[in-house]
Structure 1
Amino acid sequence: MIKAVLFDLDDTLLDINFTAFMTRYVAGLSGLLGDISRTPAPLMGVPFTRGYLAIENRSRSDDLTNHQAFNREFRALTGIPLDDPVIADAINYYDREIVPTLRGGIVAARPQRGGRKTVDTVHELGLTCALATNPAFSEACVEARMGWAGLSPEDFVLVSNWDNAYRLKPNARFYQEFVNALGLTCDECLMVGNDSRRDFPHPDCGLRTIYVGHAWPRRAVWHGPMSRLARELPNVVRRFDGEETNRRDIASL
């Protein structure tokens, strides 16, 4: 039985030029850290890139949160301890006070058509609703982008961020741990996302993905625009619940 629906955020519930957002986000944070460490801001670009590559590395064997792994790599490259209380407070201020102002211009962040309605439909169906965004940012940064989508933390029982996750998408460990935190199993959940690579767990862990992007992934159990999913989600859920009932009936014969 389907008990939960998990949502991606960027380009799923939130219409955004994510590349432009990342450029603006890293540039601002680089300037802040450059001022603190008396290092030219342009020199921060490579450590940021290497830090993100480090937490995305599929050969990782550590048990660090994504945030801890990023900080470790960043310090190894720059000598700057991002977890120092003074530096951490400055970064937290940036994420909470500055990031919410970055939505305009080329970033063009706005609610995805049908996103709010689909989230509301999940609640109307009595299902658990959770936000399984790629956990490469702080809670504050995720909440800022949720606000741009017309959503709030109260819409979700669990929201992923780099302090409560140990891998990035599409690593199956991320999905399994996220679902386990809900007290569920992967086959009891549906994932809704737009990324044909990241929103399908690797390796497969039994989580079925509804695809709302522009491609047509073979693994998708449904594909189409978010605006149509808002109408069709009840039928999708009933389909899988019916399949599960049929399997139980056959097994009992």
Structure 2
Amino acid sequence: MTTGTAMHERQPIRAILFDLDGTLNGIDMDQFLPRYFAALGEYLREWIEPQRLAREIWQATESLLQDRDVELTNAEKFRRRFLRDDPALRDLLYPLFDRFYEERFDALRSHAPIHPLAREAVETALDMGMRVVVATNPVFPEAAIRRRLAWAELADLPFQFVTTMENSHACKPHPEYFLEIVERLGVPPEHCLMVGNDRDEDLVAARLGMRTFWVTHLPIGRGISRVEPDGRGSLADLVAWLPGLARPDDGW
């Protein structure tokens, strides 16, 4: 593991933002998403051809990822774009999406390995008095994100906030995503730590003044942001590193 500069280390940390997929769980999205689309497509096959469904979801999601307008929630943006040429079908499918997450989504649990140190990492942060956020990219509805937290055996922990499509107005790596979180917390970026496995989507938080820790058990991203993390390594390294951070009451 490597760590950052002494200047950063003197900054008191009041909040820790944890990415979810590939960080607090063992989900490899390159493998998980095809299985997700296959399950969803099969569930909705009676109403929409699976390839068309996947194409429409991808197009709506791509549009959402690029949209930095914070007037609408991500859920509202997605709904405006999804099947925009066939609103009757869209309105028919939306209640069925909810049923899918209730009835079939848990069948994908076997493709979401539990990380044995995820709970310890979060509990270490909580025991330090940190405000803890699940800062997953909010392109899934709350039902899907809450279930993935349950799969990771983290659902019972007292998170300050969990980003979802319904409560977020931007996506990673846009600064608006991170700024919305810190505004909700009432904590300036320089007193936050972002923990994630994606060099392009998570470490970019450093541009706002956040400290960053790059989790490397499922590392992704090309590092195009050219941001070096303050720390890097496994979740075991993170657990060992966290107690050395300045506490919320140190100099605040």
Distance 1:176 1:62 in 2: 11
Q: Which stretch shifts more, 90-99 or 47-56? A: 90-99
Q: How far is the alpha carbon of 1:239 from its aligned partner? A: 8.9
Is the 1:96–1:141 contact (alpha carbons within 8 Å) kept by the matching residues of 2?
no
Is the 2:26–2:115 contact (alpha carbons within 8 Å) kept by the matching residues of 1?
yes
- The residue aligned with 1:159 is 162
**Deviation beyond 6 Å, 4+ runs, structure 1:** 239-242
Q: How far is the alpha carbon of 1:120 from its aligned partner? A: 0.8
Q: What does 1:145-184 correspond to in 2, within 5 Å?
A: 145-152=148-155, 154-184=157-187
- The residue aligned with 1:251 is none
Is the 2:14–2:247 contact (alpha carbons within 8 Å) kept by the matching residues of 1?
no
Q: How far is the alpha carbon of 1:80 from its aligned partner? A: 4.7
The root-mean-square deviation of aligned C-alpha atoms, in Å, is 2.5
| Matched letter for residue 42 of structure 1 | Q
- The residue aligned with 1:61 is 69
* Aligned mate of 2:49, from 33, 40, 43: 40
SS in 2 for 1:26: helix
Distance 2:50 2:238 in 1: 43
Distance 1:6 1:33 in 2: 35
Q: How far is the alpha carbon of 1:112 from its aligned partner? A: 1.7
Is the 2:206–2:212 contact (alpha carbons within 8 Å) kept by the matching residues of 1?
no
Distance 1:62 1:127 in 2: 27
Indicate how the Cα distance of structure 1 residues 77 and 20 shifts in structure 2: closer, same or farther if over 3 A, else same: farther
* Aligned mate of 2:32, from 21, 44, 65: 21
Q: Which has the larger radius of gyration?
A: 1
**1:82-121 residue CA offsets vs partner (Å, 9 max, x unmatched):** 4x3x5332211212331122122xx2x2222321111110
Indicate how the Cα distance of structure 1 residues 80 and 24 shifts in structure 2: closer, same or farther if over 3 A, else same: farther
Is the 1:96–1:144 contact (alpha carbons within 8 Å) kept by the matching residues of 2?
no
Distance 1:97 1:172 in 2: 35
In structure 1, the gaps of 5 or more residues are 249-253
- The residue aligned with 2:15 is 4
- The residue aligned with 1:94 is 100
Distance 1:131 1:48 in 2: 24
- The residue aligned with 1:126 is 129
**Pairs aligned (count):** 235
Instruction: Provide the TM-score with structure 1 as the length reference.
Output: 0.83
Q: How far is the alpha carbon of 1:210 from its aligned partner? A: 0.9
1:194 maps onto 2:197 in alignment: yes
Q: How far is the alpha carbon of 1:61 from its aligned partner? A: 3.5
In structure 2, the gaps of 5 or more residues are 1-11
Q: Which stretch shifts more, 202-211 or 93-102? A: 202-211
Q: How far is the alpha carbon of 1:19 from its aligned partner? A: 1.9
More helix by share: 1
Distance 1:14 1:179 in 2: 24
Distance 1:203 1:4 in 2: 14
Distance 1:53 1:110 in 2: 27
SS in 1 for 2:201: coil
Q: How far is the alpha carbon of 1:221 from its aligned partner? A: 0.8
Distance 1:9 1:29 in 2: 21
Is the 2:128–2:247 contact (alpha carbons within 8 Å) kept by the matching residues of 1?
no
Is the 1:170–1:199 contact (alpha carbons within 8 Å) kept by the matching residues of 2?
yes
Q: How far is the alpha carbon of 1:223 from its aligned partner? A: 0.7
